[in-house]
Amino acid sequence: MEREQIPVLWATQQPAAFNEFIEASGPPAWKTIPSWDLIGTGNHVIPEAAHRAMAATAHSRISTFQAGHLGLISKAGAVLDVVLRGIHATQ
């Protein structure tokens, strides 16, 4: 992650809305759509074991990368690789 991104992320991060915890979101997409999951092994917000359990529940194809919680931003190339694998696998 670039140093100049840090203040922007800090200032724009929104807290979770209370309704996220009490409102049903509808049928889970992973029950009918193939999924891929990229797990950051340095994530201290979502423990790796918990992330793996969620990915296993969704029958996701799991990849790992050395990144923390913001790995989707700091390691965008790894994210792109997984997205492209998903695209190629479903065409």
Domain ranges of the chain: 28-90
Distance separating alpha carbons of residues 60 and 41, to the nearest angstrom: 17
pTM: 0.72
DSSP of 20-86: GGTS---S-GGGTS--EEEEETT-SSS-HHHHHHHHHHTTPEEEEES--TTHHHHTHHHHHHHHHHH
Q: How many CB atoms lie within 10 A of CB 38?
A: 21
75 pLDDT more than 80: yes
Mean pLDDT of the chain: 90
- Per-residue model confidence (pLDDT) at position 1: 64
- pLDDT tens per residue, range 42-64: 999 999 999 999 999 999 999 99
pLDDT score at 21: 82
